[in-house]
A and B are shown apart, each in its own frame.
Chain A
Amino acid sequence: MMLATMASDPVVYGTFYDPAVAVTALPWLLFTILKMVIVFTVLMVGVAMLTLAERKISAWIQDRIGPNRTGYGGLLQPAADGLKNIMKEETYPDAAYTPLFILAPMLSFIPSLITFAVIPFAAPLSTRWGIVEMSVANVPIGFLYILAISSLGVYGIVLAGWSSNNKYSLLGGLRSSAQMISYEISMGMAAVSVLLLSGNVSLQAIVQQQQGMGWNVFPLLIGFFIFCVASFAETNRLPFDMPEAESELIAGYHTEYSAMKFSMFFIAEYSNMVTASALMVTLFFGGWDIPGTQWDNLPPWTFLKCLLTLGFFVAKLLFFLFLYMWIRWTLPRFRYDQLMSLGWKVLLPLSLSYIVITGGAILVLDMLRVPRGVQWFGISPFWAALGVLNLVLAVLVFVILDRGRIISPAYSRLSPIQIARLRAMSAGRSLAAGQGD
């Protein structure tokens, strides 16, 4: 038995059920429309609640209470804000180029919403018409779709910055394009390690691989770190909120926007956050997998199973959303050159070499016929071996490399000779001052 599993070919991850039993024709159409409506509604309400969560968490971190006058504990605050934004006047600057000025918020709003379509958010559900996939669109190239669509969001920001005809907006737009292009590369490269492990770009397959082997966050720790940092930059959140930079650029690309157009940028930012968190959950934290059990990955696909896995997915998602806010209210913004050097000089080489290391390790482990499935004590040897390799790499990166090299400090670096010279100058001055008195 042991030998048989060890001698077997690498597992091929695909779908959870035979496509022949999936819903088809009219029920498929109806279910898809239903899922679209539900996901859209939940996403919009969720984004509204996220704005409240952001304000509440920022308040708590700063020893304040936060909005608490509208509804119980401020729960109706998002509704009040939404109503206010709809009632407000839409302003059109004289110097703005109106067609693009109107188009830009839509260009940033729509991609941020449609990226969520391919994320599998729960176990499939068995109905009398067949099995329903719990993602709006079960695209076999899910991950590529996300990479393609999420980079479209930058058009909205750049066009908003340009069409506003305002120097701050333009600077915000330019910074955003530079930042998003730089970090998109590292983000994609970090995700390649996941694809190497799963052998498939379908998000369902990636979830399935993690259920069989264990969550990717351990065997691909460095990849997760790079992906996490890059997705912070991609969503323009602190410490990478260069495009907005309230204190320098007066909100950057959306300075000139008011009312619902401003709100659309806001919603786009938050739904980008949701999508990035969902992506981190799916790629590295097992998607809708319930940890420690195999019960949730196998048929029958009951309603209870669907609901429970959805609950776990949402819990993981909320953790990442909280992480976004937690980091935002902890870290100060990077300087622009620090941002660029982190992206191009650290994350890109790191992710590229990481692909080589991970690819090599997977090749060696497969040649040694290390089994991928769960073997002893509920742990997969393949997973554990890669994990140990990553722990070693993490020590190398965080203990040895991160010594003022990964991110250069906020001051220019001085050599010991320069410091000694400055010291001597300072001592000489104080001596002279002492004699003068």
Chain B
Amino acid sequence: MTIQVKVLARPVADASYVRAMLSGMALTFKHMMNPHKKTEQYPDVKWALSPRWRGTHRMLTDETGKAKCVACGLCPQICPANCIKLVPGEDEEGNRYPLVYEIDEFRCIFCGYCQEVCPEEAIHVGRHYENSEYSREGFVYDLERLTAQTHPVCEMWDPADPKGE
């Protein structure tokens, strides 16, 4: 396979540095006068996230304040990064609940499969991005932390158009 070289006819005889320079200066001047600047005033004005933004997780709770999770084990199963640690437990009435539920946000690739696979709509990826920590351990979110998060969650699809039509 040879590389095809496209040889352009350069109009050397028609080229004018001065003219090109003036048109360039007109362009930069137009940009300078343009009042619509692209700068985001970040700490003052927060970035408007897309409704489908997939950020750090959040565990939704039921009316009693308990996590909705029934420890079915689908999310650790589907997780491609293997970042969810789940130890299931069962109470006297036979309801399953997670004894340990930890997500390592460092390993997470934010694919959102856990949210898609969850039958109880318990685990969600969140519309959130400010999550710096002072230690690596701080990035392993336990159940308590996951339920305590309050940021809005990702809408995996447009609610008005759930089938993506």
A: which residues have CB within 8 A of B?
A: 57, 59-65, 326-327, 329-331, 398, 402-404, 406-407, 409, 411, 413-414, 419, 422-423, 425-426, 429-430, 432-433, 436
Contacts and interface: CB of A to CB of B under 8 A. Distances in A.
Contacts of B9: 419
A403 B16 contact: yes
Nearest to B38: A63
A422 B7 CA distance: 7
Given A326-B25, A406-B17, A64 B37 contact: yes
B16 A402 contact: yes
B5 A429 contact: yes
A327 B24 CA distance: 9
B12 interface: yes
Contacts of B38: 63-64
Nearest to B4: A430
A212 B39 CA distance: 50
A433 B32 contact: no
Contact of B16 (A326, A329, A398): A398
A409 B17 CA distance: 8
Contacts of B4: 426, 429-430, 433
18 contacts: A59-B37, A63-B36, A327-B25, A329-B28, A330-B28, A331-B24, A402-B16, A402-B19, A403-B13, A404-B15, A411-B10, A414-B10, A414-B12, A419-B9, A422-B5, A426-B5, A429-B4, A430-B4
B18 A433 contact: no
Contacts of A329: 28
Contacts of B16: 398, 402-404
Interface size class of B (residues with CB under 8 A): 20 to 34
B151 interface: no
Contacts of B32: 57, 60-61, 326
A406 B27 CA distance: 23
Contact of B31 (A60, A419, A422): A60
Given A402-B16, A403-B15, A63 B2 contact: no
A331 B21 contact: yes
A433 B24 CA distance: 39
Interface in B1-57: 1-2, 4-7, 9-10, 12-19, 21, 24-25, 27-29, 31-34, 36-39
Nearest to B13: A403
B45 to A, nearest CB: 12
Contacts of B27: 330
Interface of B: 1-2, 4-7, 9-10, 12-19, 21, 24-25, 27-29, 31-34, 36-39
A330 B21 contact: yes
Given A65-B39, A426-B7, A432 B14 contact: no
A425 B2 CA distance: 12
**Residue among B16, B17, B19 with max Cβ neighbours from chain A (10 Å):** B17
B12 A433 contact: no
Given A330-B28, A433-B1, A409 B6 contact: no
A407 B17 contact: yes
Contacts of B34: 63
Given A57-B32, A64-B39, A329-B28, 12 more contacts: A63-B38, A64-B37, A64-B38, A330-B25, A331-B21, A403-B12, A403-B14, A403-B15, A403-B16, A404-B14, A404-B15, A426-B4
A228 to B, nearest CB: 12
Shortest 3 CB-CB distances between A and B: which pairs? A404-B12, A65-B39, A60-B32
A11 B49 CA distance: 73
A429 B2 CA distance: 7
A65 B2 contact: no
A59 B2 CA distance: 44
B10 to A, nearest CB: 7
B18 A402 contact: yes
A61 to B, nearest CB: 5
A241 to B, nearest CB: 16
B24 A398 contact: no
A409 B10 contact: yes
**Residue among A63, A330, A402, A414 with max Cβ neighbours from chain B (10 Å):** A330
Nearest to B39: A65
B153 to A, nearest CB: 33
A63 B31 contact: yes
A35 B7 CA distance: 62
Nearest to A225: B18
A63 B28 CA distance: 10
Given A61-B32, A402-B17, A426-B7, A432 B12 contact: no
**Residue among B13, B25, B27 with max Cβ neighbours from chain A (10 Å):** B25
B38 to A, nearest CB: 5
Contacts of A430: 2, 4
Contact of A326 (B12, B17, B28, B36): B28
Contacts of A331: 21, 24
